[in-house]
Amino acid sequence: MTPEFFHQMSLFPRGSSAERAVVPAQRTPEGPAPLPPRNRVVEEAPRVLTSTREELWTRAESLAWRLSANLGMPVRLAVTDNRSTMVSFRRGSQVLQLRLHHMFLDAPESVVRAVADYAGRGHRAAGNLLDEYIRGQQPLIRQLRRESDAELNPLGRCFDLRALYNGVNEAYFQNGIQARIGWGRMPPRRRRKSIRLGVYDHQTREIRIHPALDKPEVPAFFVEFIVFHEMLHQLFPSSGRTGRRVHHPRAFRERERTYPHYGAALRWERENLGTLLRG
């Protein structure tokens, strides 16, 4: 019987997270079946990685096989260059979708087993070993923005984010937040099911706001609310272990509701989500 494979083979593409996915379907008694031809449409890996592209392919395939063999089920593996979330996953009835930082490509067998236990079997105690391994691999985590990352420009066509930030910082944080702010890059025009209106980077202390909000029909109080929301992340960092993070802990949500136009902002977002998704 010929095994089936599902491939999403983009190695570290442009964007906030780099990934490459491999799904081995099964193993024969003699070992892994030969892989079908690779999809060669790949992009350059970040400078933080010194291995060649082919070496990265091989190591990622090996890791996917090891995890699949341990769990006895297909594994869709995405290898990332993230700065915060090192492990994330989604368990399905027939396949495990797993995202791992590239530090795990050369992980010892004990760590691979811990990944399988933690993500595939739901054994939370295995997270202790993963946390220890991640702490020991800190030099491999990209600490700074890449040169290719867009520079922050706070001045838009309709809104000056620096002015909004300064006003929010004085009114609600006693000027206690220290961050840079600017508009993000406009993504490719395509149909979306979700949109991330803002993002805060803890390591660089940068806030990026989605350019879909830089329009005259978007009320200023809503843009200000998104800025307020992202500034809160500096006060209330994500909580949780081993990549299974709570990005908005209870204290965050309680403080967020103190924004004077909180209800109006949520209502406007709900009523205009379709327009925002169209960009």
Q: What is the pLDDT of residues 184-221, one digit of tens each?
A: 887 666 555 667 888 888 778 899 999 989 999 999 99
Cα gap 170→43, rounded to integer Å: 44
Cα gap 211→186, rounded to integer Å: 6
Q: Name which residue leads in pLDDT, 47 or 166.
A: 166
Please check whether residue 211 is in contact with residue 183, taking contact to mean a CB–CB distance below 8 angstroms.
Answer: yes
Q: Which domain holds residue 200?
A: 161-277
Please check whether residue 7 is in contact with residue 21, taking contact to mean a CB–CB distance below 8 angstroms.
Answer: yes
Cα gap 7→41, rounded to integer Å: 12
The last residue of one of the domains, among 82, 109, 140, is 140
Residues 16 and 129 grouped into a single domain: yes
Residues 112 and 171 grouped into a single domain: no
Reported pTM: 0.51
Tokens 């890059």 — which residue? Answer: 185
Please report whether residue 152 resides in a domain. no
The percent of residues in the chain predicted with pLDDT above 70, rounded, is: 70
pLDDT at residue 89 above 60?
yes
Q: What is the CATH number of the domain that holds 212?
A: 3.30.2010.10
Please report whether residue 150 resides in a domain. no
Residue 64: what residue type?
A: A
Residues 111 and 26 grouped into a single domain: yes
Please report whether residue 50 resides in a domain. yes
Residues 88 and 169 grouped into a single domain: no
Residues 191 and 119 grouped into a single domain: no
pLDDT band of 155, cuts 50, 70, 90: very high
Would you state the structure tokens that stand for residue 69, as one six-digit string? Answer: 């063999």
Number of folded domains in the chain? Answer: 2
Residues 125 and 37 grouped into a single domain: yes
